[in-house]
């Protein structure tokens, strides 16, 4: 299954090659032009049937949050820093894979029996954690691992419950899987599917991709936070699992184009697709830099809700995923129809 393969591939921000290779394999033969820019973005062009010069951009990021090696202890443990936004509290005892060799390791912390009473009351800090790869000493560890090696969570894709899946990197391999399907169709306009890099560390790849494409409009396909869990009041839910894909209004980096957002919502309702609005302005995604490119690009965002985002065990409803895929396709078909009508006038 493609989504399983994508999520189990390691692609910590700045090290997206493994994911990129899967995507290139899947879209080969469908596009008139596929380029990889200097940042590492994939920009895939599905040429339109008309010469109207209209360009629509779809964007999904390939990278995931993770860790990076920053040092070694004399006894052979690895010190590390986060890559992207990670809550340190989720790290203790997690399995990880270090470097290109996928060296197995475990994130450790001084045993609770050895902690002072005040240490037990405080949130664990990353500087107090380490990764145990079973090395004898520093020299042994340095033979196996290098400074700057990327560290990914060791987590498998697993279906469970009521049509749910558990996996790492659903943010945003879910979006990547949807874009792969969209590029297989042809429209009157030129469709650019941009699989971007380094979103988790500052929306870096999308800034370059949007500048390259200069589209007439853009749609970002994302995985977003879902907070329908114990301890959160209903009015605090960002999204609700099973209520369909979520349309963004605004966040810390962008204000979605109202016309495009309303179009997405109306298309969902007209076609009996569950849909919801994202009810928080926290966070951000590639739309933040895309909509500011050039003279400005009308941009909207549609996301698949994911519980426990930015962790090894994000949870997603396959119904929400399929609903998002259908809605993106309906959006492209609607744009295609309106462009053809404009040409016939």
Catalytic annotation present for 341: no
Beta-ladder partners of 108: 130
What is the Cα–Cα distance from 279 to 294, expressed in whole angstroms? 29
Q: Which of 318, 311, 340 is nearest to 160 (CA)?
A: 318
Contact 110, 128 (CB under 8 A): yes
What is the Cα–Cα distance from 340 to 331, expressed in whole angstroms? 14
- Percent helix / strand / coil, the chain, rounded to 5: 30, 25, 40
H or E stretch including 327?
helix 318-344
H or E stretch including 17?
helix 17-27
204 half-sphere exposure, CB direction, 13 A CA radius: 14
- Pairing state of beta strands 164-167 and 158-160? antiparallel
Q: How far is CA 123 from the centre of its chain?
A: 27
What tokens does 96 get? 């990880």
Which three-class secondary structure state does DSSP give residue 264? helix
Contact 135, 141 (CB under 8 A): yes
Residue ranges in 134-273 assigned as alpha helix (H): 138-144, 170-182, 204-213, 258-270
Catalytic residue selected from 26, 64, 199, 319 = 199
- Pairing state of beta strands 33-36 and 164-167? unpaired
Q: Which residue is it, tokens 């980096």?
A: 253
Q: Which residues of 106-131 are buried (b: 16+ CB within 10 A; e: fewer)?
A: ebbbeeeeeeeeeeeeeebebeebbb
Q: Which of 163, 160, 106 is nearest to 135 (CA)?
A: 106
- Residues marked active site are found at 199
């Amino acid at each position: 299954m493609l989504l399983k393969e994508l999520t189990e591939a390691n692609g910590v921000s700045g090290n997206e090659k493994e994911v990129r290779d899967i995507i290139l394999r899947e879209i080969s033969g469908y596009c008139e032009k596929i380029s990889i820019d200097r940042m590492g973005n994939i920009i895939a062009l599905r040429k339109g049937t008309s010469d109207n010069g209209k360009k629509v951009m779809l964007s999904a990021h390939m990278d995931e949050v993770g860790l990076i090696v920053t040092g070694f202890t004399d006894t052979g443990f690895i010190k590390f820093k986060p890559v992207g936004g990670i809550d340190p509290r989720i790290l203790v005892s997690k399995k990880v894979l270090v470097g290109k060799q996928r060296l197995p390791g475990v994130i450790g912390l001084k045993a609770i029996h050895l902690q002072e009473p005040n240490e037990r009351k405080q949130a664990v800090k990353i500087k107090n954690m380490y990764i145990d790869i079973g090395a004898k000493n520093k020299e042994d560890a340095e033979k196996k691992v290098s400074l700057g090696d990327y560290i990914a969570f060791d987590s498998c894709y697993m279906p469970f419950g009521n049509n749910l899946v558990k996996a790492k990197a659903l943010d945003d391999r879910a979006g990547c899987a949807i874009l792969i399907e969209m590029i297989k169709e042809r429209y009157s306009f030129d469709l650019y599917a941009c699989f971007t890099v380094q979103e988790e560390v500052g929306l870096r790849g999308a800034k370059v991709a949007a500048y390259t494409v200069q589209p007439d409009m853009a749609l970002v396909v994302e995985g977003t936070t879902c907070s329908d869990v114990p301890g959160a009041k209903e009015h605090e839910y960002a999204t609700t699992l099973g209520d369909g894909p979520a349309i963004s209004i605004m966040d810390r980096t962008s204000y979605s184009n109202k016309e495009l957002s309303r179009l997405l919502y109306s298309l969902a309702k007209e076609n009996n697709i569950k849909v919801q609005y994202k009810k928080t302005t926290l966070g951000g995604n590639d739309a933040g830099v895309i909509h500011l490119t050039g003279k400005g690009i009308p941009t909207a965002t549609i996301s698949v809700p994911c519980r426990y985002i930015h962790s090894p065990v994000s949870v997603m409803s396959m119904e929400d995923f399929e609903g998002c895929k259908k809605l993106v396709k309906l959006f492209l078909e609607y744009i295609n129809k309106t462009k053809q009508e404009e040409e016939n006038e």
